[in-house]
Chains A and B, each alone.
Chain A
C-alpha cells in the first residue's frame, strides 16, 4: 500500500517532467499522452485508496519519504499521510485532474504550447497532492506555494495576452497577502507547540486552550490568534471576502484550468486546511465566529455579483466563490463533515459546469459573452444536457428523504448544521439565513446562465456576417465597461487554426469525444455523489468514516462536532425544505425574466439601476483596492524609490561616491603634468611630509 501511495503522488510529477522534456521535440502528442496516462493511473490508485478507506476500514498511516528541514527543534519531513480526509481529497484532485487532462486534448487541440500546458497541469496536480498528503505544516506550505506557482503559470498560460499576465500577477500578489498570514500562523504554531507536525500538534491543542498572550494592550487567546492567521492563508487561497478579487480574473486562463484549479481543487485547499485543523479551531471560538461570518458574507456577496455578470466563466467563478463561502461557514459552525461533503460534491458539479462552459466556448469559437450566445440547445445537445445536470446539482434540487442531486445533500447538510448550531450561536443563525437566501440566488444565476446560453434567440447568427473582427464594436450599448472592469475578454482565437476551425462558418458545433467523455463522467458524479456518500460523510456512519492519522485515538473531528451533527439530524422539517423552496423561487424568477419575458434581463441591465450597477461592478471592490492598495502602494513605492532611494541613498551613496571618486581621480591626475621638476617637487614634498610626520610619530616633538 505504501509504495502504491507513493506512486500515486509522484506519478503526476513524473508526468510533468516527461511532458516538459518530450514537448521540446516537435510533436506534442507523446508528451500529452504520457501526462494523461500517468494521471489516470494516479486517479485509479486514488479510488482504490478511497474505496479501502471508506468501505474496508483501512487504517490511516503515514509514509515518511525523506527529511526536509532539520534545524534544532524545527523538524520537517517529506511524507504522505493517508487518512479519510486526504483520501477524499486524493479522489477529488486526481479524478478531476485526469478528466481535465483528457478534456484538454480536445480543448487545446489547436494550441501551440500543448505539451507545456500538460506539463503545468501535471505539476499542479503533484503540488496539490503534496498539499493534501502533508503530515506537517511545512509540506502543507510547500504544496500551498506549489499550487500557487502552477496557478500563476496556468492563468498566464497565454502569456502574449496582457490581461492574462495581469490576472496571473494579481492572483499571485493577492495570494501573497494570504500566504503571509499563513506563514505567520505556522510560526505561531511552532512557537506554541515547538513542533509543526500534525501528529504532535493536534493531540496537544487542549493544553493550550487557556493560554493567553498580551498584545497591544489586550489579552488574546493564543489558539484564536493561530487559527485566525492560518485562516488568512485559507482566505487567500480560497478567494474569500476581501481576498476574493483574484479568482474572477483568473478566468483569463484556459477553461480546463479554471475547472481544475479554480473550481474543484486549489481553491478548496483553504477549506481542507480548516477541516484538517478542526481540533484547533474547535478550541478557538473567536476564530470560528470570524470564519463563519467571512464564509456567509462571501456566499452572499459572490452570489449577488454573479447575478449581473455576462461572461459565462465569470458567472461560474463567482458561483465558486459563493459555494466556498458555504463550505467555510459550515466549518465555522463546527460541521467540518458537511464542509468536506460539500467540497466533495462541489468538485463534481463545478468542474462539470466549467468544462461545459468550456465546451460552449469551444463550440462558439472562443466567445465568452453570454449576450452573444443563445439558442445553443440545438447545436450542442450533449453539452446542454451536461450543463443542465450541473445547474440542477448546484442549485440543489431534490426532494428531502427521497432523492436529490449532489448539491442538494451537501447544501442541506450545511444548512441543517448551521440551524442546529444557531440555537445557541447567533452567528450561525445568521449564516443559516444567508445560506437559504443564497440558495435562491444560486438557482437564479445558474439558470440565468443556462437560459441565456441555450435558450432564446440565437444572437450570434446576426453577428455572423460581421465576423469576429467587429466583436468589440458589437458590444451592447449598456456595456459601459469601467476601467477596472476587465469584462468579457474572449479567449484568443488561436492562429494555428488549420482546417478544423479555420475558414468554415461560425455555426456552433458540438465538441469532440475527448471533451464529452469527461462531461459524462462528471455528470454521473453530479447526480449521484450526494446520494451515495451522504450517509458516510454526514449521516450515521460518519464517526466510523472520518478517521485520522494524526491522533492516537484516530478521531479526525472532535467530539463536539459529532454532537452537532446529531442535533442537525433532528432539525424541524421546514429547515429541510427551506433551501429547496428558495431554489424553486430562484428558478421561477429566472424562468420569468429570461424565458417568459424575453428581453427583460437586457432591459434591467440597460436601466442600470443602483443595485444592478453595484452588483455588476462587483461591489466596487476592484476600484476600491485599486484606489487604496494599488495606487497607494504605487505612490508609496514611488516616494521611496524617487525621494528615498534615488535622491537620497543613491545620490549620497553609490552615485555620489562614484562621482566623487571620479572627480578626485581627475584632480589627482592633474598633478601628473609630465614636467620633471614638478615630479621632483612632489617627491621632496613627500619626503618633507613624511619626516615631519615621523618626528611626531616617533615622539621626538612634544
Chain B
C-alpha cells in the first residue's frame, strides 16, 4: 500500500467518506430550512450521495492515509460498495414506510448517511482509533433510528435497550483496545502485528485485549452470547430500520473484525481462531434452536440473522484469503436475502396492520400469489436449499474456506444447525401454501414490492450471473490483506 504523500491525496482516498459527510450536513441544513415537506428531496439526495460514494469507493484510488489509520484497498472498496448499496435501499424503504406511518422526517436520510459514513470508516480502519470512531459514529445513528417512532413505546424501548447495551459493548471494545495498545505499544494494526510477533509467546496480554475487542464487535454483529438485544430491538424498531440493522452494519463490523484479526494478529491465527469459532458455534446453535420457538417473524428473522452471523464468523476463522472472499460474498448474498425478506414483511399487510406473526401469513398464496412466491423463494434461499443463492452462500462461501482450513468439525456443526433452522423457514413456506387464508391482504406498497421481487429474482437465478462477476473482486479483496 502506498502512503498518501499529501493531505489532498489523503482526502482523495477518503472521497466516499467526504461525499457522505458533506451531503449529510447539506441535507441537514437544507432540511432545517425546508421543514417537514423536504423529506422526499432529502431522501433522494441521500440516495444520490450513497450511489456517488459507492462509485467513488469502487473506482477511486487506493492507498493508505492519515498515518496508516485509513486504508483504501480492495476489501474496503468491496465492503463499502455493498454497505452503501444496502443503505440506499434502506433509505428508499424507510422513506416510503415513514411516509405511510405519517412520520416522514428529513432527519431519517441524514441518520442513514451518518451511519453509512461510520460504517465506511470501519471498513477502512487501519488503527484502533479509526475503528472505534467508526463504530461509535454508526452506532449512535442506529440507536436513534431504532427509536425513530418516538411515539411508539416499543420503538422507544428498542432504542433505549440498544443504546444501553451498545454502550456496554463500547466499553468492552475500548477496554480491549487500551489493553492492546498497552502491550503492543501502538494502535496501528501493522505495528501491532510486528509487536505481537516480537513478543513470542509472551503475548497473552495483547490477546487478552483482543478477546475484549472481539466481544465488542460480536455485539455489533449480534453474535451469541452478545445477541441478547437483537430480538427485542428487531421486534420494537420500525421495519425498514430493522432491514437496515440486519444488513449494512453487520457487513461493516465483520469486515473491520476481519481486518483487525488478519492484519493485526496474523501470527496468532491459531489463538484467535478458537475464540472466533466458539462465538460462531454458539451463534449457529442459538440462532437455530431459539428460532424454533418464535412466532413473531421479526424475532424469527433476528434469530435467523444470529445463526447467519455464525456462518460468517466461521468463514473468518478460516484465517485465509479464501475466508475473506467467502465472507464478502456470503455477506452480499445474505444481505440481499434479508433485505428481500424485510421488504416482504413491509409489503404484507392486512387491514393496515403489518403481518408480523407467522400465522398472519397463512394462505398468502391464495391472497397474493406473487408475494407468496417471493417469500417462498427468499425463505428457501436463506434456509440454504439449492438452487437458490443461500445454498451457495452457505456451502461454498462460508463452509468451504473453513473446510479447506481443516475446520470440518465446525462446518459439520453448521450444517446440522442449518438443518434445524430450515424448520422455521419451511414452516413459513408451509403456512403460506397450505394453511387457510383468514382474509384478504392489502395491496402491497410499490417500493417494498419491487424490492422484494428484485431480491427474489436475485436469489434465483440472477445471482448466478452476478456472483461470477463479483467473485474476482472478492478474491482480490481477500488477497489485499496479504494472506495466502
Instruction: Tell me the A residues contacting B by CB distance below 8 Å.
Output: 658, 661-662, 664-666, 668-669, 671-672, 674, 676, 678-680, 682-683, 685-687, 689-691, 693-695, 697-698, 700
Contact = CB atoms under 8 A, between A and B. Distances in A.
A695 B203 CA distance: 11
Interface of B: 161, 164-165, 168-169, 172, 204, 207-208, 211-212, 214-215, 219, 224-226, 228-229, 231-232, 271, 274-275, 278-279, 286, 288-294, 420, 423
B163 to A, nearest CB: 10
Nearest to A671: B228
Contacts of B290: 665, 668-669, 672
A695 to B, nearest CB: 7
Contact of B164 (A676, A693, A700): A676
B222 to A, nearest CB: 11
Nearest to B215: A687
Contacts of A658: 423
A399 B289 CA distance: 89
A676 B215 CA distance: 18
Main secondary structure of the interface of B (DSSP, over half): helix
Contacts of A661: 288-289, 292, 420, 423
Given A668-B290, A686-B225, A687-B211, 10 more contacts: A661-B288, A666-B292, A679-B165, A682-B225, A683-B168, A683-B225, A686-B215, A687-B212, A689-B225, A697-B275
A690 B229 CA distance: 19
Given A665-B292, A669-B294, A682 B275 contact: no
Closest 3 A/B residue pairs (Cβ): A686-B225, A665-B292, A679-B228
Given A676-B161, A678-B228, A679-B228, A668 B204 contact: no
A468 to B, nearest CB: 46
B291 A672 contact: no
Contact of A694 (B164, B211, B224): B211
A695 B204 CA distance: 8
Contacts of A694: 207-208, 211, 271, 274-275
Nearest to B210: A694
17 contacts: A661-B289, A661-B423, A665-B293, A668-B286, A672-B231, A676-B161, A683-B168, A683-B215, A683-B228, A687-B211, A690-B278, A694-B207, A694-B274, A694-B275, A695-B208, A698-B271, A700-B204
Nearest to B282: A686
A676 B204 contact: no
A538 to B, nearest CB: 64
Contacts of A700: 204
A152 to B, nearest CB: 33
A682 B212 contact: no
Contacts of A690: 211, 214-215, 275, 278-279
A657 to B, nearest CB: 9
A697 B215 CA distance: 16
B206 to A, nearest CB: 10
Main secondary structure of the interface of A (DSSP, over half): helix
B110 to A, nearest CB: 28
Contact of A683 (B169, B232, B271, B292): B169
Contacts of A698: 204, 207, 271
Contacts of A676: 161, 164-165
Nearest to B232: A674
B236 to A, nearest CB: 10
A99 to B, nearest CB: 52
A132 B172 CA distance: 83
Contact of A679 (B208, B229, B275, B420): B229
A664 B232 CA distance: 20
B226 A686 contact: yes
B169 A691 contact: no
A672 B161 CA distance: 13
A379 to B, nearest CB: 59
A493 B423 CA distance: 52
A665 B291 contact: yes
Contacts of A674: 232
Given A679-B228, A695-B204, A662 B165 contact: no
Nearest to A696: B274
Nearest to B235: A674
A691 to B, nearest CB: 5
Contacts of B289: 661, 664-665, 668
A694 B420 CA distance: 29
A665 B288 CA distance: 8
B359 to A, nearest CB: 17
A692 to B, nearest CB: 10
Contacts of B231: 672
Contacts of B169: 683
A98 B214 CA distance: 83
Contacts of B423: 658, 661
In the complex, which of the residues B172, B208, B225, B228 has the most CB atoms of chain A within 10 Å of its own CB atom?
A: B228
Contact of B292 (A662, A672, A679, A689): A662
A693 B281 CA distance: 14
B165 A697 contact: no
B226 A683 contact: yes
Contacts of A666: 292-293
Contacts of B291: 665
Given A672-B231, A683-B228, A693 B161 contact: no
B263 to A, nearest CB: 20
Contacts of B279: 690
Nearest to A686: B225
B293 A668 contact: yes
A672 B296 CA distance: 14
A457 to B, nearest CB: 64
A687 B231 CA distance: 20
A694 B204 CA distance: 9
B165 A680 contact: yes
A668 B284 CA distance: 13
A674 to B, nearest CB: 6
Contacts of A668: 286, 289-290, 293
Contacts of A679: 161, 165, 228-229
A142 to B, nearest CB: 33
A685 B291 CA distance: 22
A680 B168 contact: yes
A556 B208 CA distance: 89
A608 to B, nearest CB: 58
B216 to A, nearest CB: 9
A698 B199 CA distance: 14
A662 B293 contact: yes
B204 A683 contact: no
A691 B176 CA distance: 11
Nearest to B294: A669
Contacts of A662: 292-293
Contacts of B274: 693-694, 697
Nearest to A669: B293
A693 B168 contact: no
B47 to A, nearest CB: 35
Contact of A693 (B229, B275, B286): B275
Given A665-B291, A694-B208, A694-B211, A672 B228 contact: yes
Contacts of A682: 225, 228
Nearest to B277: A697
Nearest to B175: A687
A287 B289 CA distance: 63
Contacts of B172: 687
In the complex, which of the residues B169, B232, B292 has the most CB atoms of chain A within 10 Å of its own CB atom?
A: B292
A608 B271 CA distance: 91
A610 to B, nearest CB: 60
Contacts of B165: 676, 679-680, 683
Contacts of B292: 661-662, 665-666
Contacts of A695: 204, 208
A697 to B, nearest CB: 4
Contacts of B275: 690, 693-694, 697
Nearest to A698: B271
In the complex, which of the residues A676, A683, A691 has the most CB atoms of chain B within 10 Å of its own CB atom?
A: A683
